[in-house]
C-alpha cells in the first residue's frame, strides 16, 4: 500500500498537507466516515482522491455536474491516475469499456452523477467490485432548504445500507450549522467525524454597493481593475444575462452568456472556452459555476442581489481559487429585494420553507447594509468569529457614512422584549410606530411602554435597523417560530448603555423624472437626442403596422422615462410608468433592442 504522503508528493506534486487534510485522510484510511466543510480552493478533492488511491479498490465519486466530472478526470489522468466517469455524454461503446475496466479492477476513481449511481444496474455492478470509498461531492445539494437542492441526493443514504463496510466522505464548501446537521441526517452520517475549516477567503476583496447606473459601474470596474482578466458576472434573469453579454461584447470584452435556456451544446462550448481561454467573461445565471475548477478567476460580479448568504458565499468563492488577489463586486437595489421577496412568497413548498427563504434574504440584505467589516459579518453567519476587521473589504478600506443608531437600536430591542420575542419585524415596527392595526390591538401591544416611541423613523428605515441588528448578532430570526425576532446575549451591553452602535445611512431615494406638463422634443438633452429619435421611430413603426396612433403604443411621458432610465431588461422596462404586462409582451422586445444600442452613460 502506497502511503498518503507518498501519493501527495509523487502523484499530486505537493510536499505537505493543508489544514485538516491529513486528519480527514487518516479517518478514511482507518475505515471511518467524514463530513468535510472546506472553502473553495481549500483542497477538498485531495481528501478523497488520496485515500482512494491508497486503499484497495476503486473510489466512487458522486458529483452533480458533467462538466465537473470531465475537468477532474482530465486533471487526474494527466497526473497518471486511472480515472474515468460515466454519464450521458459518453457513447455506449465507451461507457461499456469503462464498466469493463471497473469490473477488472483497472480504475482508481470513477465519477458518477447521483441519478446514474442510483440505477439498480449500477448498484449491482458496484457490488461486484472492490470499493475503496464513496465521496459525495457538493453535499449541500441534499439540503431541501438550500439553493442547490437536488432530489436525487436524498436517496444517497442507500450507500450506508448497501455498502456498510465502505467508508464515506461528504464534502461541501457551503453549509451553515443547520445544513450540516441536515447533511449528516439525510446521508446517514450520524457517526461521521466532522471537519470544519475556516470559511475565510482572505484573498477575496468584498465590495458591495447600491446600484447607480449598474452598467457604468461594471464598466468602470472592468476597465480600471480587471482588464484582460477572466471573471463571472451573475444576473438574476436569462434575458439580462444575454443583454449584458451582448453589451460587454460591444464594449470590447470577450463575453459569453450562460443559462439553462440555452442549448446544451452551446452551454458546454461557453464553459469550455471559459475554462481554457484567458480573459473570457461568462455572464450567467446561477445555473453556471458549481464545481468550476478554473483557478485564475480574478473577479465575480453580481448585478443582482443573491437570495441568500450561502449563495453569495459559494458564488463569490469561485474567484481566486489560486490564492491570488481577487474581487467580489455586488451591486444591489430595491428592485432586487422586491423581486426576490416575491419569488420567496410564491415559491412552491411549505410555509416553513418560504419563511426560511425570507429569513435568508433578510440576512443577505443585512450584509449589504452593514457598516462594520463585511468579512466578520459573513463569517459570523457561518458561526465563525474573526477577531479583527479584515482590512480587505470596502467597509474597512472606505468606511461608509453612518449615524448613531444606539437609541433606535435600544428602542427596537426593548420593543422586541416587551412584545414577548414572539413576533416578526413587521409587527414590532407597527408597535414602535404606534399602529392601530388589528393585530397590535388584539395582543394589547398598544399598552406596552414601547408603543409609538418610533415615529421618528419610517417603516423602511426601521426595517434597515432590524436587518443590521440581525447581521451584527444583536437579534436573531427564529425560523421555527414564524420569523420571530429574538434577543441574543450580545445585545445586553447595548441595552445597559455600555455600548454604542453605528448604523449605515440609507441612501437617498431616487425620484422618477417628473412627467407632468407638456415637453417638446427640443427640451431633450442634445446628448440624448439620438436615442429619443430612435424611440420615437420605433413607436411610429409599431403604430403604423398596427394601424393605431402612436400614443396608443406609448405616451411621450413613457418614452421620456425610458430615455432617462434606459432600462436594459424586461423587468426594468416593466417598472416604467405606462408599461404594463400586455404592452411589455407585445412591444417590449422592440424597445429593448433600441435601448441596448444606447447603453447607459
CA 84 to chain centroid: 30
pLDDT for res 210: 82
Distance of alpha carbon 318 from alpha carbon 322, whole angstroms: 10
- Residues 88, 230, single domain; the answer is no
Domain stops at, among 170, 196, 222: 196
Domain stops at, among 397, 429, 461: 397
Give 20's DSSP letter. Answer: T
Domain assignment present for residue 296? The answer is yes
pLDDT for res 520: 29
- Residues 537, 578, single domain; the answer is yes
Higher pLDDT, 369 or 287: 369
- What is the number of structural domains in the chain? 4
Higher pLDDT, 48 or 279: 48
- Residues 61, 134, single domain; the answer is yes
Q: pTM score, two decimals?
A: 0.63
Q: Which of 175-189, 255-269, 353-367, 581-595 ranks highest by mean pLDDT?
A: 255-269
Is the pLDDT score of 67 beyond 70?
no
Which residue in 506, 357, 507, 489 sits closest to 413, CA to CA? 489
- Residues 373, 407, single domain; the answer is no
Q: What are phi and psi of 481, to 5 degrees?
A: -125, 45
Which cell is 561 given? 422615462
Give the tens place of pLDDT for each residue, 380-418.
Answer: 988 888 999 999 999 999 888 889 999 999 999 999 999
Give the tens place of pLDDT for each residue, 299-333.
Answer: 999 999 998 898 899 899 889 887 788 999 999 87
- Please give the average per-residue pLDDT across 75-99, as a whole number: 87
First to last CA, the chain: 64
Distance of alpha carbon 499 from alpha carbon 406, whole angstroms: 8
Distance of alpha carbon 218 from alpha carbon 319, whole angstroms: 16
Higher pLDDT, 360 or 208: 208
- Please give the average per-residue pLDDT across 505-517, as a whole number: 42
Are 18 and 47 in contact by the 8 Å Cβ rule? The answer is no
Domain assignment present for residue 437? The answer is yes
Domain assignment present for residue 8? The answer is yes
Higher pLDDT, 584 or 552: 584
- Please give the average per-residue pLDDT across 556-577, as a whole number: 84
pLDDT for res 138: 86
- Residues 123, 228, single domain; the answer is no
- Please give the average per-residue pLDDT across 169-183, as a whole number: 83
Distance of alpha carbon 442 from alpha carbon 440, whole angstroms: 6
pLDDT for res 522: 36
Is the pLDDT score of 524 beyond 70?
no
The CATH number assigned to the domain holding 417 equals: 1.10.10.10
Which cell is 186 given? 439525510
Q: What are phi and psi of 110, to 5 degrees?
A: -130, 125
Higher pLDDT, 141 or 4: 4
Please, what sign has the CA dihedral across residues 71, 72, 74, 75? positive
Complete DSSP assignment for 262-292: S-HHHHHHHHHHHHHSTTEEEEE-TTS-TT-
- Residues 211, 192, single domain; the answer is no
- Residues 426, 454, single domain; the answer is yes
pLDDT for res 334: 58
Domain assignment present for residue 514? The answer is no
> Distance of CA 582 to CAs 542, 579, 586, 587, Å?
15, 8, 6, 8
- Residues 498, 558, single domain; the answer is no
Give 393's DSSP letter. Answer: B
Domain assignment present for residue 533? The answer is yes
Distance of alpha carbon 381 from alpha carbon 467, whole angstroms: 13
Q: Which of 68-82, 171-185, 439-453, 548-562 ranks highest by mean pLDDT?
A: 439-453
Are 318 and 292 in contact by the 8 Å Cβ rule? The answer is yes
Higher pLDDT, 211 or 499: 499
The CATH number assigned to the domain holding 137 equals: 3.40.50.300
pLDDT for res 94: 92
pLDDT for res 223: 94
What radius of gyration, in Å, describes the C-alpha atoms of the chain?
27
Domain assignment present for residue 145? The answer is yes
Are 125 and 102 in contact by the 8 Å Cβ rule? The answer is yes
**Domain membership of residue 436 as a residue range:** 402-504
* Banded model confidence at residue 505, pLDDT cuts 50, 70, 90: confident
Q: Among the listed ranges 88-97, 273-282, 413-422, 585-594, which one has the minimum average pLDDT value?
A: 273-282
- Residues 174, 264, single domain; the answer is no
Which residue in 141, 166, 138, 169 sits closest to 36, CA to CA? 169
Complete DSSP assignment for 452-511: TTTTTS-HHHHHHHHHHHHHTTSEEEEGGGTTEEEE-GGGHHHHTTS---EEEPPPPPPP
Domain stops at, among 397, 425, 460: 397
pLDDT for res 220: 95
Domain assignment present for residue 512? The answer is no
Which residue in 334, 331, 333 sits closest to 219, CA to CA? 331
The CATH number assigned to the domain holding 563 equals: 1.10.150.80
- Residues 393, 409, single domain; the answer is no
3-state secondary structure of 300: strand
Domain assignment present for residue 494? The answer is yes
Helices (H), ranges, 104-167:
114-117, 120-126, 158-162
> Distance of CA 322 to CAs 18, 204, 226, 523, Å?
14, 11, 16, 54
- Residues 529, 564, single domain; the answer is yes
Higher pLDDT, 557 or 424: 424
- Residues 573, 437, single domain; the answer is no
Amino acid at each position: 500500500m502506497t502511503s498518503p504522503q507518498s501519493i501527495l508528493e509523487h502523484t499530486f506534486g505537493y510536499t505537505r498537507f493543508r489544514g485538516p487534510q491529513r486528519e480527514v485522510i487518516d479517518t478514511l484510511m482507518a475505515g471511518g466516515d467524514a463530513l468535510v466543510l472546506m472553502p473553495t480552493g481549500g483542497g477538498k478533492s485531495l481528501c478523497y482522491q488520496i485515500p482512494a488511491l491508497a486503499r484497495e479498490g476503486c473510489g466512487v465519486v458522486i458529483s452533480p455536474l458533467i462538466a465537473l466530472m470531465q475537468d477532474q478526470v482530465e486533471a487526474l489522468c494527466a497526473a497518471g491516475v486511472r480515472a474515468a466517469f460515466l454519464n450521458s455524454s459518453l457513447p455506449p461503446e465507451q461507457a461499456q469499456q469503462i464498466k469493463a475496466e471497473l469490473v477488472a479492477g483497472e480504475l482508481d476513481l470513477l465519477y458518477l452523477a447521483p441519478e446514474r449511481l442510483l440505477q439498480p444496474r449500477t448498484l449491482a455492478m458496484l457490488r461486484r467490485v472492490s470499493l475503496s470509498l464513496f465521496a459525495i461531492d457538493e453535499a449541500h445539494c441534499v439540503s431541501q432548504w438550500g439553493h442547490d437542492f437536488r432530489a436525487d441526493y436524498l436517496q444517497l443514504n442507500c450507500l450506508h445500507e448497501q455498502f456498510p463496510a465502505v467508508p464515506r466522505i461528504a464534502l461541501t464548501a457551503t453549509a451553515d450549522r443547520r445544513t450540516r446537521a441536515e447533511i449528516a441526517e439525510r446521508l446517514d452520517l450520524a457517526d461521521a467525524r466532522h471537519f470544519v475549516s475556516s470559511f475565510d477567503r482572505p484573498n477575496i476583496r468584498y465590495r458591495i454597493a447600491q446600484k447607480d447606473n449598474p452598467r457604468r459601474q461594471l464598466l468602470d470596474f472592468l476597465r480600471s481593475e480587471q482588464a484582460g482578466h477572466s471573471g463571472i458576472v451573475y444576473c438574476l434573469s436569462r434575458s439580462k444575462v444575454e443583454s449584458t453579454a451582448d453589451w460587454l461584447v460591444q464594449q470590447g470584452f470577450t463575453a459569453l452568456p450562460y443559462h439553462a435556456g440555452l442549448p446544451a451544446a452551446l452551454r458546454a462550448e461557453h464553459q469550455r472556452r471559459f475554462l481554457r481561454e484567458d480573459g473570457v467573461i461568462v455572464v450567467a445565471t446561477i445555473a453556471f459555476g458549481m464545481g468550476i475548477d478554473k483557478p485564475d478567476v480574478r473577479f465575480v460580479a453580481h448585478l443582482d442581489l443573491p437570495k441568500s448568504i450561502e449563495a453569495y458565499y459559494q458564488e463569490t468563492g469561485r474567484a481566486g481559487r489560486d490564492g491570488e488577489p481577487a474581487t467580489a463586486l455586488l451591486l444591489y437595489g430595491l428592485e432586487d429585494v422586491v423581486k426576490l421577496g416575491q419569488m420567496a412568497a410564491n415559491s412552491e413548498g411549505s410555509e416553513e420553507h418560504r419563511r426560511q427563504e425570507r429569513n435568508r434574504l433578510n440576512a443577505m440584505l443585512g450584509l449589504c447594509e452593514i457598516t462594520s467589516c463585511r468579512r466578520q459579518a459573513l463569517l459570523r453567519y457561518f458561526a465563525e468569529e474573526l477577531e479583527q476587521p479584515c482590512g480587505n473589504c470596502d467597509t474597512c478600506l472606505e468606511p461608509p457614512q453612518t449615524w448613531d443608531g444606539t437609541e433606535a437600536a435600544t428602542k427596537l430591542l426593548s420593543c422586541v422584549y416587551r412584545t414577548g420575542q414572539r413576533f416578526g419585524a413587521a409587527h414590532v415596527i407597527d408597535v414602535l410606530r404606534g399602529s392601530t392595526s388589528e393585530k397590535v390591538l388584539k395582543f394589547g401591544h398598544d399598552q406596552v411602554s414601547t408603543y409609538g416611541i418610533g415615529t421618528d423613523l419610517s417603516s423602511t428605515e426601521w426595517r434597515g435597523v432590524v436587518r443590521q441588528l440581525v447581521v451584527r448578532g444583536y437579534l436573531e430570526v427564529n425560523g421555527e417560530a414564524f420569523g420571530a425576532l429574538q434577543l441574543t446575549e450580545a445585545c445586553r451591553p447595548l441595552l445597559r448603555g455600555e455600548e454604542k452602535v453605528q448604523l449605515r445611512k440609507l441612501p437617498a431615494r431616487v425620484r422618477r423624472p417628473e412627467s407632468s406638463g407638456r415637453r417638446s422634443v427640443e427640451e431633450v438633452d442634445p446628448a440624448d437626442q439620438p436615442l429619443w429619435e430612435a424611440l420615437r421611430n420605433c413607436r411610429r413603426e409599431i403604430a403604423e403596422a398596427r394601424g393605431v396612433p402612436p400614443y396608443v403604443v406609448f405616451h411621450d411621458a413613457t418614452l421620456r422615462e425610458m430615455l432617462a432610465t434606459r432600462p436594459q431588461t424586461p423587468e426594468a422596462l416593466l417598472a416604467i410608468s405606462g408599461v404594463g404586462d400586455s404592452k411589455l409582451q407585445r412591444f417590449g422586445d422592440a424597445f429593448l433592442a433600441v435601448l441596448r444600442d444606447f447603453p447607459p452613460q
